[in-house]
Every structure is written in structure tokens, then in C-alpha cells.
Amino acid sequence: MSTRILTRPQPSATRSAPPAGQPAAARRGPNLYRVLSRVIIWVLVVVQVYPLVWVFLTSLRDERDFASGNPFGLPSSLTLDNYSRAFAHGHLGRYIANSLIVTLGSNLLIVVCGMMGAYALQVLGFRFSNAVRAMFLVGIIVPVQIALVPLFIDYSKINLLDTYPSMIIPLAGFALPMAIYLFSSFYGYIPRETYEAASLDGAGPYRIFARITLPLSVNTIVTVVMVNSIFIWNDFIFANTFVLSDNLKTIPLGLQNYIGAMGKTDWTATFAAVCVTVTPLLLVFLVLNRAMIYGLESGATKG
């Protein structure tokens, strides 16, 4: 009696093996998640970039063409008269200088106080340091509007109204909790052995801060400056409350001068002024972004 063994046919190797030189992603077809991600990214880019492009094109547009034609259409002719008119009637140089002073002063105060406060809370440590850190973090949820009237009364008593510190102090104060949170989070990743080795070598807390903590905090400093510069440069509420003279007006207040009587507005000159006032902030962001990339690359190379 003979037996017969049934075997299942094996698939050929040539059928299952992928073709040479063909990537696996191409055989699986397009990834739906990747396609949707790219579409969403391009939509966000268009939404963010289109207003800037439109403002720039309108700043080069003739005033009659803008008033009689389609405001959102392409300009029929380009002119630089809007920029000359904006500088002649708007005192843009003074407004930009005031905004630079307020922005630089506020950022300097935020970085110095934020780094030292976070260093004391996270690195040095003391009794009830966690409670103090929690009190700082509570300041993140405090709205700025509730401090306008008390600050105005206090500034009027000590003759601090209509000065640069009247804008720099509250701007730095309300941004300080977030700065302390960012610096504290970064300092938590620095190994304690680094500070212990420096202490064994005879370095005190101030020398450790200057030689170890400060050089390692470059990327965090850039992040804090970039985040706060947007709000400080565009601040309107503090400047409008504490500034009384035209000589100390910042850019948001100065742009109101382009609005004439009976609601008539020189739109093309206003857009030209907006382009001029945005340019310093864009240059600062390019420099800081390059500094952050350089810091990341240096850290990766050393690691």
C-alpha cells in the first residue's frame, strides 16, 4: 500500500522578492497621512504668508489705484511714494527707536531676572523653593488688564508716568513667570555632577553660574527673547495707558497718526509704515534663529 504525501506549493522567490532599486514606499503607494500632513502644512504656510505679501504689494501700490480698483488685486503700477510719505508725516524713525528701546530693555530684564531666579530655584534650592516657584507660575494666568489702574496710580505718585520704565517694568514683570519656567525646565536637565565637580574645584555659586550655567543657556535665552519680542514689539495696552506725549510713542501708537479726520485713512502709506516697522523684527528673528541653529549644531558636535 503506497502513501502519497501532499505538499503545498511554495511561492517562487522571484514573485516575492522586490524589484531591484525600487523603494518599499513606492510599492506601497502614497501614504495618506503624509499627503494630508503636507497639504495642511502648505495651507498654513499660505494663510500665514499671504497677508504679508498682500501688505507688501499694497505698500507699493498707487493710492488712486488702491482706492478705485480691487483692494485684493495685483497692482497695476509700483511706486515708492508711499514710503516717502510715511516717513515724512509719520515720524517712523522715532517710533521705531522707542520700540527698540522698550523691547531691548524688557528682554534684558526678563533674561537676567529669569535666569537668576530659575538658578536660585532649580540649582541652588532653598526652603519653600517649590512654593515660590508655584507662586511665579500662578502669574502666568493673571491678565494684564487688572494691573492697569493700580500701576497708573502708583506711577503717578512716584512721577514714573510717560517714561520708558513705565512700559519696560510691567512688560518684563508679566513675562517673567514664563521665562522662569523655561529656564527652570532647562536647568533640570543639567547633570548635578557638573555642579558638584565645579564645587570640588573651589568654584562658588556665582562662578558656577557664569562659567557653566550661562554658556549652556544660550538656546533657552534665544527662545525666551524670540517669544517675548513679538508681544513687546506689538504691545499697545501698556503704551497707550502710561505714555502721554508723542515723543515716547511706540509703533502701535504711532500708526494711529495715519488716521485723519472723518475716518479718512491713507491706507497705502499705512501699509508702507507697517512694512517698515516689521522689518527690524524680522531681522532680529533671522539673527536669533541662526544663533539657535548654531548653538544646536555646536552642542551636537561636542556631544
Lowest mean pLDDT, pick from 25-34, 66-75, 294-303 = 294-303
Q: Tell me the average pLDDT across 20-46.
A: 73
Q: What is the pLDDT of residues 99-123, one digit of tens each?
A: 999 999 999 999 999 999 999 988 8
Residue 236 has pLDDT above 80, yes or no: yes
Is 80 exceeded by the pLDDT of residue 57?
yes
Output the average pLDDT for the chain. Answer: 81
Task: Over range 30-36, report the average pLDDT.
Answer: 82
pLDDT at 264: 64
The answer to which of 113-127, 251-265, 268-282 has the lowest mean pLDDT is 251-265
Could you write out the three-class secondary structure of the chain? CCCCCCCCCCCCHHHHCCCCCCCHHHHHCCCHHHHHHHHHHHHHHHHHHHHHHHHHHHHCECHHHHHHCCCCCCCCCECCHHHHHHHHHHCHHHHHHHHHHHHHHHHHHHHHHHHHHHHHHHHHCCCCHHHHHHHHHHHHHCCHHHHHHHHHHHHHHCCCCCCHHHHHHHHHHHHHHHHHHHHHHHHCCCCHHHHHHHHHCCCCHHHHHHHHHHHHCHHHHHHHHHHHHHHHHCCCHHHHHHCCCHHHCCHHHHHHHHECHHHCECHHHHHHHHHHHHHHHHHHHHHHHHHHHHHHHHHHHHC
**What one-letter code names the amino acid at 55?**
V
Q: Of 85-99, 205-219, 283-297, which gets the smallest average pLDDT?
A: 283-297
**Selected residue with higher pLDDT from 65 and 60:** 60
Selected from 1.10.3720.10, 1.10.1040.10, 3.30.1490.20, 3.40.50.150, the CATH number assigned to the domain covering 91-258 reads 1.10.3720.10
pLDDT tier, 125 (very low <50, low <70, confident <90, very high otherwise): confident
Domain boundaries, the chain: 91-258
pTM: 0.76
Beta bridge partners of 61: 78
